[in-house]
Amino acid sequence: MDNHSHGRAAGQMFDYHPALPIPNGKTFMWLFLSTEIMFFAGLIGTYIVLRFGAIAWPRTHDVHLSEPIGAFNTFVLICSSVTIVLALEAAKRNKASEAKGWVLMTLLLGTVFLGVKAYEYQAKFAHGLYPWYPTGLVHEKADIHYAAAVRKRLLALKSQYETQPERTPEIEARLGVIDQISRDLVEPAELTVRNDPDSPEGRILLLKLAYAIYPPQYGPESAAHVAAANGFETFPVELVAYLHDETAAASGGDHGHAHGLNDEHPWLRLPIMVPGGGLWTSTYFLLTGFHALHVLVGLIVFVIMLTMTLGREQAGLIENTGLYWHFVDLVWIFLFPLLYLF
């Protein structure tokens, strides 16, 4: 074909300039990341509105959030960002085995992150913190509906154990605990509220029921301050007995874990009062769940990459995967203070 004469005869050929001086894969990865920015900005913006527009919000220890674990997870993700960057540098220098080693390190660190997240989720589920009924046990306040829910749960347990064919000593002991809770905590509260609805004694007894099942985690001094600020002139001394940790009182810090009835008897799984807990469980599991899904997708890509030879030819692939992974790290950098430290 005589293209020379064609070209010159046509007079001009248009000048082909690529829109961006980067490969298509990188362009599209950046476009995808901008959609992901919109996705997480929407979620995080919603969380900010709900959290700061909420009447009450649980404190971190009340919902078993551990700031050191969150900080450790942040550190793990930062390390994994460094390792994927080092993998890219190795691939650019055509050091395929070194690059693969760094990708493997990134995969391991990401797996550690997911494992720690799974441990945290398990701790929440074990305490009944779950986004919806009936697996979740969360009530917003200690009112008559809460007391009724506790009573219903106790009745359900009682009928379950009483219809057992064989009444072992353990079942007898459990029935004894159920009777004691009903007699000492639930019935006084419900009767007092019914007989004298406007008195503060009823509210104190309902709070006592709630604190017995799921005590506040900030030590007896904090509970005393909270109760005093809410209008109780004399702090109910019995409540202090439920808050075990002496070291918390001595150091004024938040050490130790106050045990309630749900901790002493895990089979009870009584409804718990966590002010703001419903919205908290919804937003926490949604935000961290979506983030964990994104981490999982990244890990799948790393596994696929481990089957390849990661030389200079694959530097583009590693770069694009690294961009995605850095974005996942970025989201966690914002999620960690918003969820754990605010």
Query: CB of residue 297 vs another protein: minimum separation in angstroms?
Result: 18
Interface with another protein in residues 30-89 (CB under 8 A): 30, 34, 37-38, 41-42, 45-46, 48-50, 52-56, 67-68, 71, 74-75, 78-79, 81-82, 85-86, 89
- Of 64, 60, 40, 35, nearest to 128 by C-alpha is 64
- Which helix (H) or strand (E) element contains residue 168? none
Nearer to another protein, 171 or 308 (CB): 308
Query: CB of residue 162 vs another protein: minimum separation in angstroms?
Result: 34
Confirm or reject binding of residue 3 to another protein (CB under 8 A).
Answer: yes
Rounded Cα distance between 97 and 147, Å, is 63
Any idea which residue has 């441990």 for tokens?
Answer: 119
Query: CB of residue 168 vs another protein: minimum separation in angstroms?
Result: 40
Quote the radius of gyration of the chain (alpha carbons, Å): 29
Interface with another protein in residues 144-163 (CB under 8 A): none
Number of Cβ within a 10 Å radius of residue 11:
6
In order of 110, 271, 292, 331, the CA distances from 317 in angstroms are 18, 50, 22, 22
In order of 139, 199, 238, the CA distances from 193 in angstroms are 18, 8, 19
Confirm or reject binding of residue 197 to another protein (CB under 8 A).
Answer: no
Query: CB of residue 267 vs another protein: minimum separation in angstroms?
Result: 27
Binding mask 317-336 for another protein (x = CB under 8 A): --x--xx--xx-xx--xx-x
Stretch that binds another protein, among 6-14, 102-110, 176-184, 232-240 (CB under 8 A): 6-14
Interface with another protein in residues 267-286 (CB under 8 A): 275-277
Total chain residues near another protein (CB under 8 A) = 75
Query: CB of residue 172 vs another protein: minimum separation in angstroms?
Result: 37
Nearer to another protein, 80 or 262 (CB): 80
Confirm or reject binding of residue 254 to another protein (CB under 8 A).
Answer: yes
Binding mask 289-318 for another protein (x = CB under 8 A): -----------------------x--xx--
Query: CB of residue 116 vs another protein: minimum separation in angstroms?
Result: 15
Interface with another protein in residues 216-235 (CB under 8 A): 222, 225-226, 228-230
| Coil, helix or strand at residue 298 | helix
Rounded Cα distance between 30 and 23, Å, is 11
241 close to 178: Cβ distance less than 8 angstroms: no
Rounded Cα distance between 85 and 92, Å, is 11
| Cis preceding linkage at 134, omega within 30 | yes
Among residues 115, 176, 197, 253, which is the contact residue for another protein, using CB under 8 A?
A: 253
Nearer to another protein, 14 or 159 (CB): 14
Query: CB of residue 222 vs another protein: minimum separation in angstroms?
Result: 7
Nearer to another protein, 157 or 192 (CB): 192
Interface with another protein in residues 90-129 (CB under 8 A): 92-93
44 close to 334: Cβ distance less than 8 angstroms: yes
- Alpha-helical segments (H) within the chain: 3-10, 24-52, 67-92, 96-126, 144-162, 169-181, 187-195, 200-213, 219-229, 237-242, 246-251, 261-264, 277-305, 315-336
Query: CB of residue 210 vs another protein: minimum separation in angstroms?
Result: 11
Confirm or reject binding of residue 23 to another protein (CB under 8 A).
Answer: yes
Query: CB of residue 169 vs another protein: minimum separation in angstroms?
Result: 40
| Coil, helix or strand at residue 132 | coil
Number of Cβ within a 10 Å radius of residue 53:
9
Among residues 195, 247, 251, 309, which is the contact residue for another protein, using CB under 8 A?
A: 251
280 close to 63: Cβ distance less than 8 angstroms: yes
